[in-house]
Amino acid sequence: MSAAGPGDESVALLRQLVAIPSVSGSEQACRDALAAWLEAHGIAPQLHGRNVLATLDGRRQGPGLLFCSHIDVVPVGPGWTREPWDAALENGRVHGRGSNDAKSSVAAMAVAASRLLQQGFDGRLVLAFVCDEETGGEGIEACAGDLPPCDAAVVGEPTGLDVCPGQRGLLRARLVAHGRSCHASRPHEGHNAIEMAARDIVALGALDLGEAHPLLGRATLQATVIAGGTRSNVIPGECTVELDGRPTPQCDNQRMLALVDAATESEVVLKSTRMLPVVTDPDEPIIAIARRCSPTGLVRGFGGVSDLAHLRGMPGVVMGPGTSAASHAPDEWVAVEQVQAATAAYLAIAREFLAAGGRSAHDPRHAGAQGR
């Protein structure tokens, strides 16, 4: 085993992973490299589709903790000024697609697990390094039911190592305004679908989406893409509007959808409502432990959505190195000091939770939670 410190080792692993393209749906090479690293460090990997799972059992029975993050990345896209897969280490930063979101979390969790194994521990640590987080499909939602019982989870995403025990949901819908086409010189003979869609957008802006949640803030609903019309001299017969909703417990997915349906004249086509808002009970030990182990000590809501949504019923926090501003952006990067701090924080969380902070895996409140 390398004599390097855990922070140096996690940076080296991160660079190895970033150098392997793993856009959602094509994670196999990255999965295999990560599995080989785990095996070389005494951790037996289990391949589950394009996911890498592992279970570390301690000296004695005790609570179980899940470390979960994702190896898939979004496509490179335009705007890059450097090679997106070079994994360069420059000026205290690791560069490349996935360096920030979320291979830095994967690397830090893997190295923390190897250090925990070296030091000895009680209880159980479960690793789930998964695919398809960016798109949904065959990631944690497909393998959660095959994981051993766990009492809490840490989901690795870029939070600047703030502790995020909750996140808003995600509602995707489309408005389809059905008008009637005619010649633009005789608009009275038709029904302008763009005007109908415009009225609906204004109506959505006036909706009451409930009070602000103390952790997650207010629910939001935005029109993000609009398309309509065929020619400049033709009254449009159809117009579509894509909607992005971020529900909270005060205005959850079903309530938001009902409000949209009641306020609009257009047909409402539901695209996805499977990502529900998640909030971990503030009294759960994992929150206090993560806060003590975080270098920032800050507790806040997570601004996006993560695989915490698929671990419903299991207390959990989202916490990882990096910043949301660098996620999905050109010239993605993560600070080396963040990766090093994350490795130390993950190791400290695991040691404290497994030693004293968790609940028994036989607690009926949490039994089988990973499968819901």
List active site positions. Answer: 133
Please name every residue paired with 47 in a beta bridge, in sequence order, or none if there are none. Answer: 52
The CA–CA distances, whole Å, from 42 to 2, 60, 216, 298 equal 13, 18, 40, 34
Closest CA to 328 of 296, 295, 303: 303
- In angstroms, the CA 164 to CA 130 distance is 20
Sheet holding 89-90, edge to edge: 89-90, 93-95, 333-335
Closest CA to 370 of 29, 125, 66, 1: 66
Helix 28-40 vs helix 103-119: crossing angle, to nearest 10: 20
Dihedral of CA 14/18/19/23: which sign? positive
Backbone angles phi, psi at 192, to 5 degrees: -75, 110
Q: Measured at the alpha carbon of residue 372, what is the angle toward residues 112 and 155, in degrees to the nearest 5?
A: 25
Preceding peptide of 263 cis, ω within 30°:
no
Neighbours of 198 (CB within 10 A): 17
Please name every residue paired with 302 in a beta bridge, in sequence order, or none if there are none. Answer: 167
Please name the helix (run of DSSP H) or strand (run of DSSP E) that holds residue 142, with its range, or none.
Answer: helix 140-143
- In angstroms, the CA 114 to CA 109 distance is 9
- In angstroms, the CA 320 to CA 216 distance is 18
Asked if residue 179 lies in contact with residue 191, where contact means CB atoms within 8 angstroms, the answer is: yes
Q: Which residue has the tokens 């969790």?
A: 109
The CA–CA distances, whole Å, from 301 to 50, 54, 278, 353 equal 29, 28, 10, 21
